[in-house]
Chain A
């Protein structure tokens, strides 16, 4: 394991090439949400033991073993392993450039090597974070509310001047749907069972109307990524989907051809933007403080502004836990309904 950070550093030092690509993928296992499906061999990476190409087998074996040992390592994250920052599919990017910039910025700000950790689902990142195996993670408001007692807020992104965003119910662009109730009987695409905008908001909406997803929709499935929800609805695989409004809006600028195949049926109320949180157990760690400072000061640094520009965010702000009360209310509503 001693050589592992070096390997990472080498591979993250410049523009990703074939080898760097591989190394990145091996570490950030959930490429699917983080990275563009078009750019990465998502499937082959997800099931490396069965489907890797021969030419990459040796490299993958090394990387794969690193991932396994990382995931299975008992105990808390230690200083020797560097600063581990978790990312969930909340995160917009499908861009390696963004990850490289973010990592470089955080490494410089915190003063030690930063490792970006990705997983396929929210749940995996949340579990790692709560277990203290990550120093911090960019999670969704819904897991934050669920594990509020074990997590501290570090910072919340600010979008259009506020740390708020919406959840959208979307359908195919050509479908003349006026009200969300008309989505009854659809095959519906959710993002993630631990996503606020990609699941909880719609679930709560149905609960408030005395409905359950399995009764309202004919079928539903999870795509584990907001971009995937848009793709599922655009392709017709699903007739409607629950998606992060921030992701939908930003992607509309970046991939209009894809997003314009969908339209918004319902916008939710404004809700707390997915925050960066850290385990409460690491509250005294000076690196958490440095991270908070680095995030909130991001707009003031050239490197940070590049990251924010790619994320289409204004910056990060220090937010109060009360920002997520509306989400907590939705959790309550769902619980009440059963």
Chain B
């Protein structure tokens, strides 16, 4: 198992040539075995034939002499036959008579005439014509001498079979060398081929790894294979994916930019409106002062009017500053933030002659760890939407409730009900489709704030018609001064 795992850890460009080499070794082993087996059979058949004819010749030569028990004639025949059968390389031949004793041997000093046949000679034969002693490279064969149906003796022969085994060894060596060379060639070829085949995959892998790190680059045309095929189509597909992803990222950036501009526009418009409102009263007061400035009552009243008008303008400017200064948007949420929203809503409410039902129980000095800027912006956006949805002279409402672990903000309107896309943008798991529809950038900002705080948003019908948008924001920690205040 461990070995298998280790094998799998080897790169494909090495694994495949190794497998090819192993396959070659296996094939060559089988082929070598078959060749040697075949060779061995052929050699043995050849030797059987040769030994058979050798024994035939010896039998014909010695039979009459054996009948007569003529030691010399038998020896002479054996001695001559040793030279006549060079192809078989006879080592020894022993002829025994009817009584089993030796009549003559080619080497009488080893096996003397008239002696008993050594036991080793009688017991060395197998079933086939020729029996091999592979350690000594010697073949043995024997033949009974039969005359008129009776056994009158036997011939025992031994011959040198070393050339047979030498030939086998030589062929085995040739096979091994040839197969080793072939296996090496095939392994190298397999290695190069596989490397060439998987090179495009490696290019693709490199690019994908780079993309995972955030740098998605299209595959350059020089890395494309020369011919169109599966790999080229894969590369084209990958490049199309990279281009699509880039376009999407560009679009998102553009969208964010547009949202900024839209907010800026609204702010500028709101501020202009807020500043413009008291300006009419201020100019009236200035006219009154020009005309009746000497009259003490009128003068004081006019100056008071001018002062209040300028105060209103200052409040608007301060609220705007508080809302759009980046360094202030990260501080914890406090009552001022909600108050700012109220101030900023005033001009719009007045223009539309609408009433704000303000139900905020938030004493001064209490802060919660939720970032103030985004919440104030979200509340403002919701109030603006509610105002836009509510008919003129209608009423909208803001209700803020605090518990130790969460903050609940509800905005109510008297409109005809929120469009489905807007509800989806606030409440759906994936707000993507609603965003791509290009609707409700203000609501998208609200959704982003809620997601960032880990809260949730809900939309439901109000008790007297219209809609109620409820944001529930968790509060992990309550500020100390709030607790002291509560105490």
Task: Identify which of B72, B83, B104 contacts A222 (C-beta below 8 A).
Answer: B72
Within 8 A of A (CB), among B76-133: 76-77, 79-80, 83, 104, 107-109, 112-114
In whole angstroms, how far apart are the Cα atoms of A224 and B70 in the complex? 11
- The answer on a CB contact under 8 Å between A43 and B71 is no
B71 touches A221 (CB 8 A): yes
Counting CB contacts under 8 A, is B166 at the interface?
no
- CB-contacts of A168-227 with B (<8 A): 187, 189, 218-219, 221-224
A275 to chain B, nearest CB (A): 27
Segment of A101-109, A150-158, A229-237, A309-317 engaged in the interface with chain B = A229-237
Q: State the majority secondary structure of interface residues on B.
A: helix
| B64 close to chain A: CB less than 8 A | yes
Indicate whether A50 reaches chain B with its CB closer than 8 angstroms.
Answer: yes
Contacts of B60 in A (CB 8 A): 47, 50-51
Residues of A within 8 A of B107 (CB): 235-236
B80 in contact with A189 (CB, 8 Å): no
Q: Are A237 and B113 in contact (CB under 8 A)?
A: yes
| CB-based contact A236/B108 at 8 Å | yes
B76→A37 contact, CB < 8 A: yes
| Per-residue interface assignment for chain A, residues 43 to 62, with 1 indicating a CB less than 8 Å from any chain B CB and 0 otherwise | 11001001100000000000
Minimum CB–CB distance for B70 against chain A, Å: 7
A240 contacts partner chain B, Cβ-Cβ < 8 Å: no
B140 at the A interface (CB under 8 A): no
Give the distance in Å from the alpha carbon of A14 to the alpha carbon of B363 in the complex: 155
Decide: B109 and A51 in contact? CB cutoff 8 A. no
Closest to A51 in B: B60
**A293 at the binding interface (Cβ < 8 Å):** no
Measured as residues with beta carbon below 8 angstroms from the partner, the interface class of chain B is 10 to 19
Asked whether B204 is an interface residue with its Cβ less than 8 Å from the other chain, the reply is: no
Cα–Cα distance between A236 and B79 once the two chains are bound (Å): 12
Per-residue contact bits, chain B 326-354, to A (CB 8 Å; 1 contact, 0 not): 00000000000000000000000000000
Inter-chain CA distance A77–B83, complex, in Å, is 41
Beta-carbon nearest neighbor of A187 in chain B: B113
Contact (Cβ within 8 A) B61 A219? no
Contact B80 A232 (CB under 8 A): no
Measured CA separation A44–B71 after assembly (Å): 18
In the complex, the answer to whether B61 meets A237 with C-beta atoms within 8 Å is: no
**Across-interface contacts of B75 in A (CB, < 8 A):** 232, 235, 237
- A178 to B57: give the CA distance in the assembly, Å: 42
Are B70 and A221 in contact (CB-based, < 8 A)? yes
A228 interface residue per 8 A CB criterion: yes
Given A43-B80, A51-B60, A51-B61, A236 contacting B112 (CB threshold 8 A) = yes
Inter-chain contacts of B113 with A (CB < 8 A): 187, 219, 237
User: Are the C-beta atoms of B114 and A187 separated by less than 8 Å?
Assistant: yes
Q: Is A219 a contact partner of B108 (Cβ separation < 8 A)?
A: no
Q: A223 vs B77: C-alpha distance in the bound complex, in angstroms?
A: 12
- In the assembled complex, the CB of A338 is this many whole angstroms from the nearest CB of chain B, namely 25
Q: Is A260 an interface residue (CB 8 A)?
A: no
Q: Which A residues are in CB contact (< 8 Å) with B70?
A: 221
Given contacts A228-B76, A237-B75, A219 and B114 within 8 Å (CB-CB): yes
Answer yes or no: A42 CB below 8 A from chain B CBs.
Answer: yes
Query: Which residues of chain B come closer than 8 Å to A47, judged between CB atoms?
Result: 60, 64
Q: What are 27 A-B residue pairs whose CB atoms fall within 8 Å in the complex?
A: A32-B76, A37-B76, A38-B83, A42-B76, A42-B80, A43-B76, A44-B61, A47-B60, A50-B60, A50-B64, A51-B61, A187-B112, A189-B72, A219-B114, A221-B70, A223-B76, A224-B72, A228-B72, A231-B76, A231-B79, A232-B75, A235-B75, A235-B79, A235-B109, A236-B107, A236-B109, A237-B104
Which residues of B does A touch, CB under 8 Å?
60-61, 64, 70-72, 75-77, 79-80, 83, 104, 107-109, 112-114
Other than A218-B114, A228-B76, A237-B72, give 12 A-B pairs with Cβ distance below 8 A. Answer: A42-B76, A187-B114, A189-B72, A223-B72, A223-B76, A232-B75, A235-B107, A236-B107, A236-B109, A236-B112, A237-B108, A237-B113
